[in-house]
Each structure stands twice: as structure tokens, then as C-alpha cells.
Amino acid sequence: MSSTTRSNNNEGVEFVHEDNGQITAVDLETGVASYGDTKSEALTMLAEALELHEGGGEPVTDADLEAWGLDPDEVDDKPLPDFMS
């Protein structure tokens, strides 16, 4: 069972302490979350997730897929479901 610290506003970060020892950091305004082994690591990962959520970062290219050992022709190009847009 995980535990969490709750606040009554929609700003800031909520930390969830998972049963496996990891800590999940949730941005209360966007609902974006990420995790790490420490609060610091969870916040670092959350910052990256928020940047990507806001449109930052670079698109994945076929060259990236090949570098990661994935076949670009086998990657599904279906549109994202509404909840992920």
C-alpha cells in the first residue's frame, strides 16, 4: 500500500511513497507524474516529464529507432487516443 501527502490546492508536487520503496512525484496542476528512488530523483524525472508534456524535446526519428534496436517499419503510427492528446 502506498502513502501520500495531500494538499487542498492544485499547485505544487505531491509525493507518493510506493510499497517498493520508490517515490512518485505528481505535478498537481497537470497530473503528470514520474518516479525515482529518492525525492530528488523523482523531481528530476518529473521535470523532464513536464518539459515533454509541454512540447519540449525532440521528435523521435527513424535513426533514433534504429539506434535503439527497433525497426522503424514495425512501429505503429496510429494516432494517439484522445486521453493522450
**Residue 85 pLDDT:** 61
CB 53 within 8 A of CB 33: no
**Residue 5 pLDDT:** 54
Domain extents in the chain: 3-75
Q: For residue range 11-65, what is the model confidence (pLDDT) as tens digits?
A: 899 999 999 999 999 999 999 999 999 999 999 999 999 999 998 888 888 899 8
Distance set, CA 52 to CA 2, 5, 17, 19 (Å): 26, 25, 24, 27
